[in-house]
Amino acid sequence: MKDISSDGTIKRILGYVRKYRVSAAASILFAMINVAGGLYVPILVGRAIDCIVYGGTDYGALTGILTKAVISTVSAAASLWIMNEVNNRLTYGVVKDIRNDAFEKLHRLPFSYLDKHPAGDLLSRITSDADQLADGLLMGFSQLFTGFMTILITLGFMFSMNAPIALIVVLVTPLSLFVARFIAKRTYDMFREQSAIRGKQTELINEMIGNEKVVKAFSYEERALDRFDLINSELRRASLRAVFFSSLTNPGTRFVNSIVYAMVALFGAINVLGGGMSVGILTSFLSYANQYTKPFNEISGVITELQNALACAKRVFDVIDEEEEVQSGSEAGDVKGDVCCRDVAFSYDRSKELITGLSIDVKKGEHVAIVGPTGCGKTTIINLLMRFYDVDSGEIAVDGTDIRSITRHSLRNSYGMVLQDTWLRNGTIRDNIKMGRDISDEDMIKAAKEVHSHSFIRRLKNGYDTVIGEEGGSLSQGQKQLLCITRVMLSLPPMLILDEATSSIDTRTEMKIQDAFLKMMEGRTSFIVAHRLSTIKNADLILVMNAGNIIEQGNHEELLTRKGFYYNLYNSQYN
């Protein structure tokens, strides 16, 4: 079985705690005050009993003792409140930093990682697993420190009162620790399995909610419920198993602690009868024996929760530790737009060839259309041009410079991109068009009029101030695509990528915005992916792809004259 500290998870968490070392020190200080105040009370109670039993009724002395007991109790309560406040700030500060690191890492991970890991599972790691970590840390800071301090200070008091009986307590104690550790070591993997299944559940929920229209359209509800029920049953099984075995810790340690308490009572009573200690000291000793064993029960519960927290933390750290995209390279500078591909080969899966021997030479301002059947590699070429993926072999160069020697950020700033899959965020129409750029409303409206999005925006309840929800809310797919085209019209970088940019726009509106597209592409190198071949008749170069290879290239008239693959593709649409 795996040791909870063997993978360095605890050290990683302590590394985050180091930033809050002042709060950690304050937590320890107030924990000490709380423990000391609470443990001083049994001594005072013992003295009060001895004062009554052996010293007659000395109200003056008794009043002084009780006053000290009240002050100690109030001090312990106040320090406990402050300690909990500090622990809350410390715990959620640590989890906030871990979440930030994980979320920042997501933006630096390669697309290959994001393609292989479901969004729901990543969402579960950053939300649910981080919450479980917070719960475990809070219990650890609140109860672990005070528990250990209670044990140490109680031992000190007991040895000062009666060393032989205190020694008996110390000798029996390791049995309680052995029970707790034996069970804890075996629950770590159980909690890891629980977290992994919870991630699958979040993944399914995310998938179904994000595609609810498709689910209802194809009457997939029953199958979705069956899938959810299956995962839910697995989660129930894993959770019950983990909780059952971890819950054995507390009764196991309680049994050992009861033995300790009984032995202290037995030997203490014998000592009182023999005159070795007073009734008050025995009362104090029994109180300490109870307080000494109590932290072991609490610590066993904390260890159980920590198993869950560490298993969840490991899943978050797995994301943080993933190898990120290499960010080295020079800035792209003033890009003109010459693009050259030399003998490029690429595949998502090395065992399956996709693109092989791709070579094209595109000059500044040329319009290149890429056509072909589904799965032939059209969008893959776009991914390579944008460096969403790097080529396996060969070279893609912009203005004669290999794009692998250019930073991804500066390269992507040189492209304007409109995709078939739109991306809109929660916010107003204005926010989604400007995207944080310093652009005047006049320029925004001018661009919207050119791409014919202004008319539908004006009809919305609040116009450009209309708030749209995630993924565009109630806007149609065509309206969302028009907003994305408007967004690119406001940036106009030296190179453009239009990947099925008008696929969701009606033919009449598409014809209207052709002039806007021509104006947008004027003097700019443009790559156009389209299934509707009528939209790329005016392209300077048409690349016809099939099975990852360019099988024909030329302009529209040349390709029709050859009566090859493009000729058949074109006639299948219009004849």
**Residues 8-43 pLDDT 10s:** 788 888 889 888 889 888 988 888 888 888 888 777
According to the model, what pLDDT value does residue 264 have?
77
Name which of 460, 473, 465, 474 is nearest 433 in CA terms.
Answer: 465
Domains in the chain, CATH or no CATH each: 9-191+240-320 (1.20.1560.10), 339-574 (3.40.50.300)
The residue-averaged pLDDT of 276-296 equals 75
Decide which of 188 and 485 is more confident. Answer: 485
pTM of structure: 0.67
- 337 pLDDT more than 60: yes
Decide which of 142 and 510 is more confident. Answer: 142
- 2 pLDDT more than 60: no
Q: How far apart are the first and last CA of the chain?
A: 69
3-class SS of residue 118: coil
The residue-averaged pLDDT of 396-415 equals 87
pLDDT class for 253, splitting at 50, 70, 90? Answer: confident
CA–CA distances in Å: residue 541 to residues 366, 377, 397: 8, 17, 18
The residue-averaged pLDDT of 486-499 equals 83
Pairing between β-strand 355-362 and β-strand 339-346 as defined by DSSP bridges: antiparallel
- Per-residue tokens: 387: 């460096």
- 5 pLDDT more than 80: no
Name which of 556, 531, 532, 530 is nearest 542 in CA terms.
Answer: 556
pLDDT class for 3, splitting at 50, 70, 90? Answer: very low
d(CA 150, CA 35): 6
- 440 pLDDT more than 50: yes
According to the model, what pLDDT value does residue 270 have?
79
d(CA 524, CA 416): 10
According to the model, what pLDDT value does residue 106 have?
86
The residue-averaged pLDDT of 492-499 equals 84
Question: What percentage of the chain carries pLDDT values higher than 70?
Answer: 90
Decide which of 429 and 163 is more confident. Answer: 429
According to the model, what pLDDT value does residue 97 have?
92
According to the model, what pLDDT value does residue 58 have?
66
The residue-averaged pLDDT of 506-529 equals 76
According to the model, what pLDDT value does residue 396 have?
92
Beta strand ranges found along 420-481 (DSSP E): 427-428, 467-468
The residue-averaged pLDDT of 478-492 equals 82
- Residues 519-564 have pLDDT tens digits of 777 888 888 887 777 667 878 888 888 877 788 888 888 888 888 8
According to the model, what pLDDT value does residue 333 have?
73
According to the model, what pLDDT value does residue 477 have?
76
- Residues 100-145 have pLDDT tens digits of 999 988 888 888 888 888 887 888 888 888 888 888 888 888 777 7
d(CA 488, CA 440): 15
According to the model, what pLDDT value does residue 526 have?
87
- Residues 174-210 have pLDDT tens digits of 777 677 677 767 777 788 788 888 888 888 888 887 7
- Per-residue tokens: 263: 């032995």
- 378 pLDDT more than 70: yes
Decide which of 157 and 55 is more confident. Answer: 157
- Per-residue tokens: 553: 């290239």
- 147 pLDDT more than 50: yes
Half-sphere exposure of 21 (CA within 13 A, CB side): 4
According to the model, what pLDDT value does residue 528 have?
86
According to the model, what pLDDT value does residue 96 have?
92
Mean pLDDT for all residues in the chain: 81
- 512 pLDDT more than 70: no
The residue-averaged pLDDT of 442-469 equals 87
